[in-house]
């Protein structure tokens, strides 16, 4: 590739705000000549590199903006620790088809069984697929909504959140909510119903959500909207964090088993 042509490509790449095109064009030029690519094949290859780079860059921006507490991939999830969890179910969720249908995913089970790991992994897959994602604990979501309510912009905040293809609500049930907080959380669920997806994790079965939200009617209405279009997965067993500690299980798990 001559200097004049290279300079012209560099100028055009800057004008298009696609600086990687110049590098791809130079790297692929010799390969194209040796393989006798057509002009169309060469152009497609160069543009393909640019699109792939942009998608990767965009995904990284969305992942950082999501607020994940850590990066957890589905590929690193230990299915050996959860033998009852079907790999094909998680693989299907990883395609993001549930997002296109505004469906939810609910992950139930004792602490330490991988619920948050799966929620983050699915969130990262969604970000790679081009969806905007937000992650926070249930307590943090309520605090955010309380602030918006106090400032008189709750309706605007709910509209803003509906622009996110996926919201992850972690640790539902770890801390009980007062009535006002429960009502705000219900509004978040209701505003996304059949419009955009939620992933929720909880250490409690649905039958005990009334205790968390302090109102059986509100809890029932909330669960109804969540599970109407949802995949509900139950994780079992002891916490993986307790492996090799000599502790068989957590008090909360023993209490739940006794209640059952």
Higher pLDDT, 81 or 74: 74
Average pLDDT on 93-108 reads 97
Higher pLDDT, 243 or 163: 163
How far is 164 from 224, CA to CA, in rounded Å?
Answer: 22
Looking at the chain, the whole-number percentage of residues with pLDDT higher than 70 is 90
Average pLDDT on 4-26 reads 76
Tokens of 217: 């009617």
pLDDT at residue number 30: 84
With a cut of 60, say whether residue 258 has pLDDT above it.
no
pTM, rounded to two decimals: 0.77
pLDDT in tens, 170-225: 999 988 899 999 999 999 999 999 999 999 999 999 999 999 999 899 999 999 99
DSSP string, 60-75: HHHHHHHT-SS---GG
How far is 81 from 72, CA to CA, in rounded Å?
Answer: 16
Higher pLDDT, 218 or 249: 218
How far is 105 from 108, CA to CA, in rounded Å?
Answer: 10
How far is 159 from 98, CA to CA, in rounded Å?
Answer: 21
- The mean-pLDDT minimum among 68-82, 110-124, 152-166, 236-250 falls in 236-250
The mean pLDDT of the chain is: 88
Residue reference for tokens 């990883």: 94
Confidence of residue 260 (pLDDT cuts 50, 70, 90): very low
**Cβ(200)–Cβ(226) under 8 Å?**
yes
Average pLDDT on 75-102 reads 93
Average pLDDT on 235-245 reads 65
List, in sequence order, every beta strand (DSSP E) within the chain: 104-108, 133-137, 166-172, 197-202, 230-234
Tokens of 243: 């492996």
How far is 80 from 184, CA to CA, in rounded Å?
Answer: 38
């Amino acid at each position: 590739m001559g200097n004049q042509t290279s300079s012209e490509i560099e100028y055009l790449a800057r004008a298009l705000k696609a600086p990687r095109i110049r590098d791809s064009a130079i790297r692929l030029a010799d390969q194209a000549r040796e393989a006798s690519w057509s002009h169309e094949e060469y152009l497609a290859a160069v543009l393909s590199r640019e699109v792939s780079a942009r998608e990767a860059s965009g995904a990284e921006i969305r992942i950082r903006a999501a607020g994940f507490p850590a990066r957890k991939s589905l590929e690193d999830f230990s299915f050996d620790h959860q033998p009852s969890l079907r790999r094909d179910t998680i693989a299907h969720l990883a395609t993001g088809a549930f997002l296109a249908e505004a469906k939810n995913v609910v992950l139930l089970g004792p602490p330490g069984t991988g619920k948050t790991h799966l929620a983050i992994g699915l969130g990262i897959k969604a970000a790679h697929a081009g969806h905007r994602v937000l992650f926070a604990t249930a307590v943090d979501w309520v605090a955010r909504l309380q602030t918006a309510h106090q400032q008189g912009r709750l309706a605007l905040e709910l509209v803003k959140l509906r622009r996110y293809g996926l919201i992850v609500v972690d640790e539902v049930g770890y801390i009980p909510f007062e009535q006002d907080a429960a009502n705000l959380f219900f509004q978040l669920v209701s505003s996304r119903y059949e419009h955009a997806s939620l992933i929720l994790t909880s250490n409690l079965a649905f039958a005990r959500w009334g205790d968390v939200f302090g109102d059986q009617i509100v809890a029932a209405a909330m669960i109804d909207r969540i599970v109407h279009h949802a995949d509900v997965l139950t994780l079992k067993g002891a916490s993986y964090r307790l492996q090799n500690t000599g502790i068989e299980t957590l008090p909360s798990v023993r209490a739940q088993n006794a209640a059952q």
